[in-house]
Amino acid sequence: MTTFEAPTHAAPIDDRVIRPIPEFEGVHDIWPRGKRLDAVRAAAQAYRERFIAQGQVRAIKSFDIAAAPYPQRFAFQGYSVGPNPMISIINRMFVIQFEGFDGELKTLVWEPTVAAGSAEAPFYAKLESMAGKFLSHKVFTKYYNDPQSVLPQCGLTNDDVDFLSFDHLHVQDVRMILGSTSVIPGESAPRKPLFPNAELLVHRKELGTFEAPHPLQWSWYVEGGMDGVPMDRVRVFDGDVELGVGVSLLWTPGHTDGNHSLVVNTPDGVWVSSENGMAADSWQPELSRIPGVRRQAEFYNREVVLNANTMEDSLDQYDSMVKEKTMASPSPKDPRWLQIIASSECASWKRQWPVVPTFSHGGLDYGTIERAR
């Protein structure tokens, strides 16, 4: 049983570290829902102009961490048609460097998923017990990089990281990342932090879910995954925030109450990353060649297709995906496609054909990661 108690209020905003984004203030409270969508879209258009004018991040690089099994019916809201009920999704980790509001170089690690922790989430634990270890770990799963080894590839150490964040805390055991004063069951000593000097940036509502998940949320959160985590290393925020030049975290509720999306400005324009969708097709179904996706979206007159493993608020998630695609720039590789890169993307593996992305951006690689002086 969890012993974690979530804060009832976010920490006071510190303009030297993070700043609120006034363009989005109040838009998620507008009623009726059709007018809320209009307001979210308009606010994103207004903020996009100011965001771009502020400048670009110094560098950003992405790294594939692991591929994991995922039900096809969740990935594209039940629209996709394919013979395999399970697909695989590839988790990505991003290393971003930018100028903070104090003028100093900052390093943010986005989505440092520890696979061993994810395996303890009830959904994956039950899936392994049903499918067996061979299917779970050999067929659907593939390991690329360990979050602990990524920073040395960039010429950094894990001590150099200032901030950590996830779009939400599904299948995350935060103890394995921030450390814990309590012992994880099956281990002999408290975990040491993976990134010793970093703060975890997390939305207040996401922590509240960790404390007391609803039955419809339960299967995706690691039981006790926040127990013993040092809360002085957790920076809790509400709403939408800016971290520095060219990088923001936009509140995108719906998939979870506290979901937020990474937004960065680069030489190729604005990129957005989240798990609201599973592929570029999710945000632009009109271009999709995945059987069923374009046809179903046209039938229901919908401009996005949700990643639907949780339906906490599908209307909010729809609005959030519109918010994301309004912020994103067209891709120079193919201007028909917007620069939205799923933090967990449907794999392009032959065994799950024809449920493979119509278009994939690949990884992100801009600038040079460097040590802060």
Q: What is the pLDDT of residue 9?
A: 84
Instruction: Say whether pLDDT at 136 is over 70.
Output: no
Residue 21 φ/ψ region, left for φ over 0, alpha for ψ in the -120 to 50 degree band, beta for the rest: beta
Q: How far is CA 6 from CA 82, 114, 167, 234, 360, in A?
A: 41, 22, 18, 11, 37
Q: Residue 162 contacts by C-beta under 8 Å, 6 or more apart in sequence?
A: 100, 106, 107, 108, 197, 198, 199
* Positive/negative CA dihedral, 93, 2, 204, 124: positive
- Strand partners of residue 97: 59, 107
Start-to-end Cα distance in the chain: 44
Give the mean pLDDT of the chain: 94
Closest CA to 221 of 186, 178, 188, 174: 174
Chain segment 290-311, per-residue pLDDT in tens? 999 999 999 999 999 999 998 7
Contact 249, 318 (CB under 8 A): no
Buried b (16+ CB within 10 A) or exposed e, 318-357: bbbbbbbbbbbbebeeeeebbbbbbbbbbbebeebeebbb
Cβ-based neighbour number of residue 28 at 10 Å: 20
Q: What is the pLDDT of residue 129?
A: 77
Question: pTM here?
Answer: 0.95
Instruction: Say whether pLDDT at 128 is over 90.
Output: no
Give CA–CA dist 52/89, Å, rounded. 31
Residue 2: pLDDT band with limits 50, 70, 90: low
Residue 117: pLDDT band with limits 50, 70, 90: confident
